[in-house]
Chains A and B, each alone.
Chain A
Amino acid sequence: MKKRTSIIFGLLFAVIVIGGLLSTFLLGRGEGTVAVISVDGEVLERIDLSKVRKPYDIDISTEYGHNTVHVEKGAISVSEADCPDKVCMYQGRLTGSGIPIICMPHRLVIEIEGGDIDA
């Protein structure tokens, strides 16, 4: 009985891990070109990445902290942040909709809108 529950839960956990990673992989490939930068739920910038000709940087400074957002054709990323964890920088370039870049300490979210969300 005891061994049985262990096996059942082991399988359940394996399904969660594989399913979670797989769906994240699929989710991150949504189409869409409009990037939305928001802090605290308020939209600060809305940029159509397909219309960007020359790469440029945007400074986002709020009461929570400072981030530099790098905008280029078809991609957006955080190039600098004064938060301690720098997770937003390590998240790299966002090229499609699905999974947003978050900087939790600064309440900054960068999403790409549109495309098929249900992947």
Chain B
Amino acid sequence: MPKTRKLTLMALLTAIALTVFVIENQIPAPVPVPGVKLGLANIVTLITMKLLGKREAGAVLLVRVLMGSMFAGSPSTLLFSAAGGLLAYLVMCLTAGVFEENQLWIVSALAGVAHNAGQLAACVFVVKTPGVFAYAPVLAASGVITGVFTGLAAQYLLKALKKTKF
């Protein structure tokens, strides 16, 4: 892939991820559990990893996390999404090669759990109250549910993109 095309694609994907992230932030949480959200921006990270590669996905994620908390959050949002995003990214990198294209939902669910684990650890670190770990089971469950959902979304999107000779 030519360098310019790659750069443009990365910029485009970052813009999409940011938009999705900011819009999702405006929607009130569906369940009254702190830290639970769909994580739609994760679809973009998955797509970038599959289309361009791991390093490119990391770059898109990094810019999205930094700019996302500038646009739609506070400094504490940055810490939480950075901790969650980093852990999810590591898990994605480790598992993306293991599973096949139409098993992306597995990669995504594992990443979802990792994301919530990172976020919870950051939260306990910030509020300095270990009792917050009581949220671990429900966050693991939500990580799986939202991860499977975003993973399937990314999977079908990839399929459609390939049909268009993207």
Question: Residues on A close to B: CB < 8 A?
Answer: 2, 5-6, 9, 13, 16-21, 23-24, 27, 38, 40-41, 85-88, 90-92, 98-100, 102-105, 107-109, 111
Q: At the interface, is chain B mostly helix, strand, loop or mixed? A: helix
B23 at the interface (CB under 8 A from A): no
* Most chain B CB inside 10 Å of its own CB: which residue of A5, A17, A19, A91: A17
How many B residues touch the partner, as a band? 20 to 34
B97 at the interface (CB under 8 A from A): no
Q: In the assembled complex, how far is the CB of residue B106 from the closest CB belonging to chain A, in whole angstroms?
A: 5
B109 touches A13 (CB 8 A): yes
Please name 10 further chain A to chain B contacts, defined as beta carbons within 8 Å, in addition to the given A85-B28, A103-B34, A104-B126, sorted by A numbering.
Answer: A5-B99, A38-B127, A41-B129, A87-B29, A88-B34, A90-B29, A91-B34, A104-B76, A107-B126, A107-B127
B87 at the interface (CB under 8 A from A): no
- Sampled A-B contacts (7; CB under 8 Å): A5-B99, A6-B106, A38-B127, A90-B29, A91-B33, A91-B34, A104-B80
Question: Residues on B close to A: CB < 8 A?
Answer: 28-29, 32-35, 74, 76-77, 80, 99-100, 103, 106, 109, 113, 123, 126-129, 131-132, 134-135, 137-142, 144-145, 148
A6 touches B103 (CB 8 A): yes
Q: In the assembled complex, how far is the CB of residue A69 from the closest CB belonging to chain B, in whole angstroms?
A: 15
Q: Which residue of A lies closest to B107 (CB)?
A: A9
A88 to B126, CA, bound (A): 16
Q: In the assembled complex, how far is the CB of residue A53 from the closest CB belonging to chain B, in whole angstroms?
A: 27
